[in-house]
Amino acid sequence: MCRHLAYLGPARALRAVLLDPPYGLERQSWAPRRQAHGTVNADGFGVGWYADGDPVPARYRRAGPLWADPGFADLARVVRSSAVLAAVRSATPGQAPGEAAAAPFADGPWLFSHNGCLPGWPVSSSALASEVPADVLLGAGVLTDSTVLWALVRADLAAGRAPEVALARAALAGRRVPGARVNLLLTDGVRVLATTAGDTLTYRRRPGEVVVASESTDDEPGWVDVPDDHLLTATAAAVSMRPLAEAADVADSSPSTLSASAGPPGPATHLHRTETP
């Protein structure tokens, strides 16, 4: 279920990032090429983007399919951004419908998306929900498996954990649900963090930009698949990967040294893989 994408790089029209590529997010909403669960993503969509000088992102979310929204097509023609996170939704039966259930979810400078499912909702997620303070859980405005995972991330961020650790911990917590798929995507407009946990993820680095997506948006060279159960950290200048379990243990009990406005994390000698220009 669902497809999502993040972009960092020179300012581009939203249309160029999401709609124009031959297999972009609009195409993925009705004809995904690598989606193993579900066939179309017509149960809502959302786009979040950052404007220069403003750390708090704007969002446009709707309950219907991306391909059927002429308002967004017109908006996407003129709005430009150097940091974008977008998602199209295939709702799991029993989950809340509507615009409020469509990613990306937001809190301060952060945008978040979940590509996957926690089977057996809501019973399967009750243990996860019990780990989150009630005010954080209810702050999402709507309860779905995705917003429970988002609440886990927000609680860890509020506790001072580094965003890499928070995202890896949430993915591993979700993995405790049998059959769960917990591909998560998080950005503050400076870096993109993503997990692979049961579904596809790929990225492409070009000079000064990076795209991280559930599946490639074209057939041009340079796309790299991320192994399952890994955390990816990307900026416009570099990409690194490490196993989820390793990422979740890094500075687990220490407050984050990265503020929401901080730059990308520095190099780490224990990274599983690092790519730079």
Catalytic residues: 2
Matching residue, tokens 């994390």: 265
Q: Residue 74: is it exposed, middle or buried by C-beta count within 10 angstroms (0-12/13-18/19+)? A: exposed
Which strands make up the sheet holding 58-62, listed edge to edge? 58-62, 45-49, 80-88, 3-13, 209-213, 202-206, 224-225
CA distance 191 to 239: 10
C-beta atoms surrounding 61 within 10 Å: 22
Question: Residues 229, 197: contact at Cβ < 8 Å?
Answer: yes
Cα gap 112→88, rounded to integer Å? 13
Place of tokens 């886990």: 152
Question: How far, in Å, are 86, 99, 126, 221 from residue 104 at the CA level?
Answer: 6, 10, 22, 28
**Rg of the chain on CA atoms, in Å:** 17
Q: Largest alpha-carbon pair distance within the chain?
A: 48
Rounded to whole angstroms, how far apart are CA atoms 275 and 262?
A: 21
